C-alpha cells in the first residue's frame, strides 16, 4: 500500500477501514541468501537497501525482541555529518544525503527536519579547530558555517554568552543537520524491506552460529535453525555478546549513555545545540519536549540505565549554557547501551570467518549513521567489496595502525 495525501483523504472518508499492517509477521523459512541478525535501525536499513538497491531479496531479519526496540528507540534523534577525518566524514555525508531523500525513498514520513546543528566554541584555539573541521567537511561535500558571537546573540539570545568559565565566542553550524523521528525511521525501513519480500522475524533470538571449517552456514535461533549463505550481524550494544558465539573478541566495550526529555514547552530552541566543553547537547522535539544528554557513564554496562552522578553532570552543563531551562521539569530519562570502540569509530566489515559479516562499534553516533550504515553494509554483502566511503571502517585497523580517532584520545573507549 502506497501512502499519500490522497490515501489519507480516501481513508478518512471511508472510515479508515482500508489500512493494512505495515509489514507481515512471517515464520522463518529453511534458508536465505542473507540473514541479518538484529532488527534495529541499522539491520532494517541494511535489509531495505539490500532488497531495494542491490536486488538481493531472499533476505531475513531476525530480531530477539520487536523491531526497532533497541538503540533506534533510545537515542536523541540527531542527524549530522560534521566529522573531520577522511575515514569518517565522507561516510557521514553519504548518510546525510540519504537522510535528505529518505522519506521519498521509503514512502514513509520519518519527519526528517533539517533544523541545523550548532557546536559552540569558547576559545581561539577551539575556533581554529572548528575552522579546520569545517574545511574538512567541505572536502567531503558537506556544508558548514562559522558564526561569531554577535550572530549567535541574534539567533539564540537565551544562551549564557558571558559564562565565567566558558564564554561563548561563536559556533560552527551545519544547517543541513537536524533531527528525525527515530521510530519512524525503523518503521519506514521495515515496511520498505517487507514490501520487497524480506522476512522480518521477531521474537527470534540467535543462540549460535553454524560454523564449519571456517565457513558460516547459518544461525541457530529460538525459532529453529536458519541456513544462510551470508550472516550479517548488526547488533550494536550487544556486539561482543553475539560475536563471542562465533569465538571472536572485539575492540569494543559496552557502555551506558543516558538521555533526558523535559515536559512539553512552546518552541524555544530552534535547532540542535551542542556544548562540548560542558558535555551537554540539546534540541526540542516536535512535541515540545527538550531532548538532551551528555557523556556516557564511563564504565562497562549492559544495564540500560545509568547512575545519578551523570544526571547531575548533564543538568549542570545545561544550566551553565542555557539557564532558562532550569525551571523545565524532567519528564523521562533512559539509558542505552553503546558499542564503544577503541578509537570512537565504527566497523562495517567481513570477519575472518567466511560468510560472517560484522557491523557495529557505533559508539553514541549510530542514529545519524543509520542510512549509510545500511547502505554500505548492503553494498558489502551484495558485492563482497566495501563501499567507497566505508573502506576505512575495518576490524583490523588497530593491528595495522590505521585508527580513525576523531578525538585523539587513544584506545580508551570511555574517553571517545
What is the contact surface with other proteins in residues (CB under 8 A)?
A: 238, 240-241, 244, 249-254, 298-303, 307, 309, 342, 398-399, 411-414
Closest distance between other proteins and the C-beta of residue 39, in Å? 20
Q: How far apart, in Å, are the Cα atoms of 62 and each of 187, 220, 349? A: 15, 11, 19
Strand-pair category, 224-233 with 31-37? parallel
Give the residues across from 259 on adjacent strands: 293, 334
| C-beta separation of 30 from 227 below 8 A | yes
- The smaller minimum CB distance to other proteins, of residues 199 and 343, is found at 343
**What's the closest the beta carbon of residue 222 comes to other proteins, in angstroms?**
17
Beta-carbon neighbour count of residue 71 at 10 Å? 26
- Cα–Cα dist 287/264, whole Å: 6
Nearer to other proteins, 43 or 360 (CB): 360
- Which CB, 174 or 240, lies closer to other proteins? 240
Cα distances (angstroms) measured from residue 312 to each of 103, 258, 297, 309: 37, 11, 11, 5
- Between residues 382 and 415, which has the closer beta carbon with respect to other proteins? 415
Cell 570511555 maps to which residue? 414
CB of 247 to other proteins, least distance (A): 12
Of 190, 232, 163, nearest to 382 by C-alpha is: 232
In angstroms, what is the minimal distance from the CB of 300 to other proteins? 5
Closest contact distance (angstroms) between CB of 405 and other proteins is: 12
Q: Are 80 and 341 in contact (CB under 8 A)?
A: no
H-helix or E-strand containing 253? Answer: strand 252-264
- Cβ distance to other proteins smaller for residue 26 or 298: 298
Q: Is 12 helix (H, G, I), strand (E, B) or coil?
A: helix
We find the least distance from the C-beta atom of residue 64 to other proteins, in angstroms, to be 13
Q: Which CB atom, from 123 or from 409, has the smaller least distance to other proteins?
A: 409
Q: Classify residue 21 by burial, with Cβ atoms within 10 Å: 0-12, 13-18, 19+.
A: exposed
Assigned C-alpha cell, 309: 552522578
**Least distance between other proteins and beta carbon 107 (Å):** 38
Is residue 334 within 8 A of residue 258, CB to CB? The reply is yes
How far apart are CB 25 and other proteins at their closest, in Å?
28
> Of 107 and 414, which CB lies nearer to other proteins in the complex structure?
414
Q: Which is nearer to other proteins, 1 or 244 (CB)?
A: 244
Distance (Å) of CA 227 to CA 46, 186, 248, 384:
19, 25, 21, 19
Amino acid at each position: 500500500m502506497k501512502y499519500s495525501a490522497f490515501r489519507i483523504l480516501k481513508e478518512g472518508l471511508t472510515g479508515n477501514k482500508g489500512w493494512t499492517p505495515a509489514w507481515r509477521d512471517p515464520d522463518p523459512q529453511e534458508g536465505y541468501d542473507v540473514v541479518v541478525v538484529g532488527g534495529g535501525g541499522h539491520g532494517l536499513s541494511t535489509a531495505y537497501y539490500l532488497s531495494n538497491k542491490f536486488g538481493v531479496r531472499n533476505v531475513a531479519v531476525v530480531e530477539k525482541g520487536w523491531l526497532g526496540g533497541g538503540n533506534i528507540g533510545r537515542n536523541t534523534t540527531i542527524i549530522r555529518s560534521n566529522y573531520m577525518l577522511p575515514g569518517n566524514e565522507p561516510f557521514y555525508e553519504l548518510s546525510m544525503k540519504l537522510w535528505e531523500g529518505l522519506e521519498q525513498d521509503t514512502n514513509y514520513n520519518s519527519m526528517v527536519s533539517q533544523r541545523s546543528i550548532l557546536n559552540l566554541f569558547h576559545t581561539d584555539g577551539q575556533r581554529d579547530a572548528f575552522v579546520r573541521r569545517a574545511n574538512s567537511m567541505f572536502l567531503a561535500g558537506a556544508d558548514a558555517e562559522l558564526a561569531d558571537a554577535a550572530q549567535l546573540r541574534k539567533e539564540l539570545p537565551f544562551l549564557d554568552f558571558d559564562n565565567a568559565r566558558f564564554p561563548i565566542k561563536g559556533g560552527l553550524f551545519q544547517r543541513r543537520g537536524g533531527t528525525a523521528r527515530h521510530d519512524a525511521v525503523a518503521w519506514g525501513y521495515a515496511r520498505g524491506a517487507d514490501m520487497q519480500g524480506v522476512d522480518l522475524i521477531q521474537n527470534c533470538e540467535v543462540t549460535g552460529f553454524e560454523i564449519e571449517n571456517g565457513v558460516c552456514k547459518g544461525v541457530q535461533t529460538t525459532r529453529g535453525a536458519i541456513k544462510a549463505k551470508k550472516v550479517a550481524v548488526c547488533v550494536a550494544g550487544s556486539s561482543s555478546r553475539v560475536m563471542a558465539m562465533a569465538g571472536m573478541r572485539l575492540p569494543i566495550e559496552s557502555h551506558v549513555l543516558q538521555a533526558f526529555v523535559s515536559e512539553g514547552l512552546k518552541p524555544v530552541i530552534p535547532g540542535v545545540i551542542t556544548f562540548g566543553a560542558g558535555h551537554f547537547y540539546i534540541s526540542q522535539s516536535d512535541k515540545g519536549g527538550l531532548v538532551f544528554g551528555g557523556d556516557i557513564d564511563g564504565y562497562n554496562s549492559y544495564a540500560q540505565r545509568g547512575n545519578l552522578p551523570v544526571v547531575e553532570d548533564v543538568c549542570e552543563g545545561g544550566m551553565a549554557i542555557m539557564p532558562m531551562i532550569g525551571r523545565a521539569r524532567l519528564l523521562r530519562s533512559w539509558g542505552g547501551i553503546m558499542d564503544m570502540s577503541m578509537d570512537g569509530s565504527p566497523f562495517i566489515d567481513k570477519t575472518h570467518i567466511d560468510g560472517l559479516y560484522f557491523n557495529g562499534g557505533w559508539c553514541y553516533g549510530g542514529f545519524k549513521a543509520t542510512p549509510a550504515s545500511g547502505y554500505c553494509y548492503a553494498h558489502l554483502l551484495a558485492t563482497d567489496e566495501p563501499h567507497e566511503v566505508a573502506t576505512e571502517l575495518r576490524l583490523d585497523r588497530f593491528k595495522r595502525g590505521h585508527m580513525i580517532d576523531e578525538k585523539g584520545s587513544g584506545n580508551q573507549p570511555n574517553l571517545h
